[in-house]
Amino acid sequence: MTYKMFFAGSGGQGILLMGQMIAKAAMYEGKEVTFLPSYGPEMRGGTANCTVVVSDSPISCPLIYEADAVIAMNLPSLTKFESLVKKDAKLFINSSLIAADTTRSDVEFIKVPANETAISLGNERAANIVMLGAIVSRTNVVKMESIEHVLETVFSGAKAKLLPLNQKALMTCVK
């Protein structure tokens, strides 16, 4: 099994963190994984994207030309990268920030109100973790237990106070 994912949004939305967490969870499960980040010089507010490839066998190249799942956290990302989703694959959008629908009829289109859900939990910055829960539950690329383990390591030490909020965020859009 090889699963190719592409995450896109603007800097500050936690795009790279989502990709890193899936990559770390895959490594925790003993899978082969690549993580390739890309971001503009602005960091917060600029463009950010990353690719994650998870496989049971060695991965020859971290670049992808077709994705099993594309995650778009803002409208420019949907516009630019929806063509990357291969036929019958998954296209996740942050419906809190994207009112448009996909132009594709050959993909599974999944709307996740990530920002609205995070706000209802008390912190809009948890929108990426809301989306992460939706992704993991609908793709099974890694086990939810592995993501929960990674979440505990990411939100430890000085960030430990954020763990309960992010644990709730992870489970809100789980199907």
76-107 confidence digits (pLDDT tens): 999 999 999 999 999 999 999 999 888 899 99
Higher pLDDT, 17 or 175: 17
160-170 confidence digits (pLDDT tens): 999 999 999 99
Distance CA 160, CA 46 (A): 28
Q: What domains sit in the chain, N to C, each tagged with a CATH number?
A: 2-172 (3.40.920.10)
Cβ contact 121:172 at 8 Å: yes
113-170 confidence digits (pLDDT tens): 999 999 999 999 999 999 999 999 999 999 999 999 999 999 999 999 999 999 999 9
Angle (nearest 5°) at CA 115 between 91 and 103: 30
Nearest CA to 118 among 94, 88, 82?
94
User: Rounded to two decimals, what is the model's pTM?
Assistant: 0.94
